[in-house]
């Protein structure tokens, strides 16, 4: 059901992607070597590669589609993170308005659809996102949020503060693979102030960078349920991930709908 | 209100705790907002709710990566170091077992993930790792069950006979038929006759449980 109060396509209602995440939980039988995967998927070498042999952790990072893409592989989980991280040390740091959610998601899906068919067998798959939308004040943020949560919460923007709402709305996928997915969303309004902290002694300990950014914030964690037994069907992984992102899009557009 | 982790664990049965370790700051730090010579960080000021963190992520169904709390790391180091001096005897609850039970009850899946990482990276002495695996099957803690099963299944393929044997024992204790495919695969690859027979016995047990 689409919420009639939300003109989803108007630019001022667009979410910005702070971070998009694909998390893959490998099958226990998988011995997966992530070295070189970043280059294989993106088509160029990453800017940095860190291998912590003693901890079995591999991290590869590089620029990708106006943002930064990180591959972090550990024995129990493999994460692909995409966002503006690493670009914020510029002075002044760019605002997150440079990465609209829909645009960022399209780029990120390319990564997912290239990697999942060649990646390891998986027990569990997740799409995570941190989305923000700048607002002028906490009250404005709460008013905006009230539209998204009007089916479940009656917000008092002027007379309240410290509001945080989180919920899981699980769903059962009806076609193959028939699995339960968790649809977690967390809603809040927060203020971010970037500061530069000096490491060298004798220098002013920190300086603020730019004005504080106040924004409405939506965190999504759409994942296949941990109780699913066996490996997820490899041939359906890319489709499955797209479906997880569609569920995330639905929440970002319609808010929390029981 | 900012509570210490121990206070929060005692005061809140959901395992939530309040900390200045803001998730947004963590996410940005993880995403690489660290510059050479200077560190760029972010602070969130709006209200105390923005400082809520949780060792399990947002909820038991969350897949968000959580940092290993330093006190968990320290406790784990101590328990595993002390365990090297311990003699493990069948039928007795070792100090290591008591420590593991505490860690799993207090930190849930995060503790098991860290144990898994250390065992897979061979950072734990094989004899201690074997005892850990056996207890991963015995601990009664629903929220970490999936991760404990993963750890046991994974170690059915270990290079160490000792560890494979303990993984089988752990699976027998956990008695979860979900391990049947991994067990069948391990039996097909197992070259040690005695261990193969033991694993076949575990398989029969799980098949019986499934029925």
Rounded percentage of chain A residues whose pLDDT exceeds 90? 63
Chain centroid to Cα A91, Å, comes to 25
Residue B178 lies in a domain: yes
Q: Which residue of A has its CA nearest to B47?
A: A162
Which residue in B43, B46, B179, B206 has the most chain A C-beta atoms within 10 A of its own C-beta, making it the best mutation to test that interface?
B46
Full-model pTM: 0.80
Quote the CA–CA distance of A69 and A98 in Å, as a whole number: 15
Q: A131 to chain B nearest CA, in Å?
A: 11
Average pLDDT of span B191-202: 97
**Does B49 lie in the same domain as B80?**
no
**Does B104 lie in the same domain as B47?**
no
What 3-state DSSP class applies to A186?
Answer: strand
Q: Where are the beta strands (DSSP E) in chain A?
A: 16-26, 48-52, 57-64, 67-73, 78-83, 122-134, 164-168, 171-172, 180-198, 206-224
Highest mean pLDDT among A12-21, A173-182, A214-223, B9-18: A214-223
**Inter-chain Cβ pairs, chain A and chain B, closer than 8 A:** 159
Residue among B40, B117, B153 whose CB faces A28 most closely: B153
Residue among B59, B65, B157 whose CB faces A29 most closely: B157
Average pLDDT of span A159-177: 88
Whether residue B49 is predicted with pLDDT greater than 50 in this model: the reply is no
Quote the CA–CA distance of A165 and A168 in Å, as a whole number: 11
Which tens digits make up the pLDDT trace of B149-159? 999 999 999 99
Give the model's pLDDT for residue B143.
86
Task: Find the distance separating the first CA and the last CA of chain A, reported in whole Å.
Answer: 10
Q: Is the backbone of residue A162 left (phi > 0), alpha (psi -120 to 50) or beta?
A: left
Quote the CA–CA distance of A181 and A169 in Å, as a whole number: 9
**Does B82 lie in the same domain as B20?**
no
B residues 46-65 lying closer than 8 A (beta carbon) to A:
46-50, 52, 57-59, 61-65
A107 and chain B in contact, CB less than 8 A? no
**Does B126 lie in the same domain as B44?**
no
Contact between B47 and A182 using a beta-carbon 8 Å cutoff: no
Contact of B105 with A119, CB cutoff 8 Å: no
A82 bridge partner residues:
A20, A69
Task: Tell me the residue range of the domain where B48 lies.
Answer: 5-54
Average pLDDT of span B104-113: 90
Give the model's pLDDT for residue A199.
65
Contact between B33 and A88 using a beta-carbon 8 Å cutoff: yes
Quote the CA–CA distance of A161 and A138 in Å, as a whole number: 8
**Does B36 lie in the same domain as B86?**
no
Contact between A192 and B43 using a beta-carbon 8 Å cutoff: yes
Which tens digits make up the pLDDT trace of A186-238? 999 988 777 767 666 666 666 777 777 889 999 999 999 988 878 898 888 99
Work out the mean pLDDT of chain B and round it to a whole number.
76
Query: Where residue B31 falls among pLDDT bands split at 50, 70, 90?
Result: very low
Task: Tell me the residue range of the domain where A126 lies.
Answer: 15-252
Average pLDDT of span A164-176: 88
Average pLDDT of span A99-118: 94
**Does B46 lie in the same domain as B96?**
no
Query: Where residue B59 falls among pLDDT bands split at 50, 70, 90?
Result: low
**Does B107 lie in the same domain as B40?**
no
Q: What is the DSSP letter of B55?
A: T
Give the model's pLDDT for residue A123.
93
- How many separate domains does chain A show? 1
**Does B153 lie in the same domain as B83?**
yes
Whether residue B51 is predicted with pLDDT greater than 70 in this model: the reply is no
A173 and chain B in contact, CB less than 8 A? no
Average pLDDT of span B122-130: 92
Burial class (CB within 10 angstroms; exposed 0-12, middle 13-18, buried 19+) of A118: exposed
Average pLDDT of span B48-59: 38
Chain A residues inside the 8 Å CB shell of B141: none
Highest mean pLDDT among B7-16, B112-121, B185-194: B185-194
Whether residue B11 is predicted with pLDDT greater than 80 in this model: the reply is no
**Does B78 lie in the same domain as B31?**
no
Which tens digits make up the pLDDT trace of A43-76? 999 999 999 887 788 999 999 998 999 999 998 8
Which tens digits make up the pLDDT trace of B71-102? 999 999 999 999 999 988 877 789 999 999 99
Give the model's pLDDT for residue B4.
35
Contact between B120 and A75 using a beta-carbon 8 Å cutoff: yes
Give the model's pLDDT for residue A226.
86
Query: Where residue B129 falls among pLDDT bands split at 50, 70, 90?
Result: very high
Residue B62 lies in a domain: no
Whether residue B50 is predicted with pLDDT greater than 90 in this model: the reply is no
Q: Which of A77-81, B55-59, B116-120 has the lowest mean pLDDT?
A: B55-59
Average pLDDT of span A125-141: 94
Stretch (H or E) spanning A25: strand A16-26
Work out the mean pLDDT of chain A and round it to a whole number.
86
Give the model's pLDDT for residue A159.
94
Residue A145 lies in a domain: yes
Give the model's pLDDT for residue A54.
77
ipTM: 0.81
**Does B153 lie in the same domain as B113?**
yes
Quote the CA–CA distance of A250 and A151 in Å, as a whole number: 15
Whether residue A239 is predicted with pLDDT greater than 50 in this model: the reply is yes
Q: Which residue has the higher pLDDT, A169 or A234?
A: A169
Query: Where residue A77 falls among pLDDT bands split at 50, 70, 90?
Result: very high
Whether residue B12 is predicted with pLDDT greater than 50 in this model: the reply is no
């Amino acid at each position: 059901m689409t919420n009639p109060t939300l003109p989803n396509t108007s630019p001022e209602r667009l979410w910005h992607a702070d971070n998009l995440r694909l998390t893959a939980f490998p099958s226990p039988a998988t011995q997966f070597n992530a070295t070189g995967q970043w280059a294989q998927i993106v088509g160029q070498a990453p800017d940095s590669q860190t291998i912590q042999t003693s901890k079995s952790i591999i991290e590869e990072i590089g620029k990708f589609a106006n943002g930064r893409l990180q591959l972090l592989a550990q024995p129990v989980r493999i994460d692909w993170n995409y966002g503006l991280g690493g670009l914020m040390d510029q002075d002044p740091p760019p605002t997150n308005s440079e990465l609209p959610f829909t645009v960022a998601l399209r780029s990120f899906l390319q990564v997912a659809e290239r990697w999942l068919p060649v990646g390891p067998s998986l027990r569990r798959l997740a799409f995570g996102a941190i989305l923000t939308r700048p607002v002028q004040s906490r009250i404005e943020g709460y008013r905006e949020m009230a539209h998204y949560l009007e089916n479940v919460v009656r917000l008092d923007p002027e007379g309240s503060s410290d509001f945080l709402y989180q919920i899981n709305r699980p769903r059962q996928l009806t076609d193959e693979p028939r699995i339960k997915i968790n649809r977690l969303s967390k809603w809040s309004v927060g203020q971010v102030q970037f500061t530069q902290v000096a490491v060298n002694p004798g220098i002013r300990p920190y300086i603020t960078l730019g004005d504080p950014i106040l924004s409405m914030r939506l965190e999504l964690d759409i994942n296949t349920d941990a109780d699913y037994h066996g490996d997820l069907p490899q041939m359906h992984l890319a489709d499955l991930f797209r479906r997880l992102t569609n569920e995330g899009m639905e929440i970002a557009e319609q808010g929390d709908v029981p | 209100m900012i509570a210490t982790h121990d206070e929060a664990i005692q005061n809140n049965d959901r395992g939530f705790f309040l900390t200045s370790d803001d998730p947004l700051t963590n996410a940005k730090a993880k995403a690489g907002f660290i510059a050479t010579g200077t560190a760029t960080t972010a602070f969130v000021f709006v209200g105390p709710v923005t400082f809520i963190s949780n060792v399990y992520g947002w909820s038991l169904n969350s897949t968000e990566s959580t940092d290993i709390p330093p006190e968990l790391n320290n406790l784990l180091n101590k328990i595993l170091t002390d365990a090297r001096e311990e003699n493990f005897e069948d039928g007795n609850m070792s100090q290591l077992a008591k420590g593991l039970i505490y860690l799993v009850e207090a930190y849930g899946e995060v503790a098991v993930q860290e144990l898994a990482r250390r065992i897979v990276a061979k950072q734990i002495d094989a004899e201690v790792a074997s005892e850990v695996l056996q207890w991963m099957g015995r601990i009664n803690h629903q929220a970490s069950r999936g991760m404990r099963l993963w750890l046991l299944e994974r170690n059915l393929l270990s290079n160490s006979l000792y560890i494979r044997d303990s993984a089988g024992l752990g699976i027998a204790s956990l008695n979860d038929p979900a391990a049947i495919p991994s067990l069948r695969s391990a039996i097909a690859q197992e070259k040690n006759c005695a261990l193969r027979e033991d694993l076949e016995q575990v398989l029969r047990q799980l098949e019986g449980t499934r029925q």
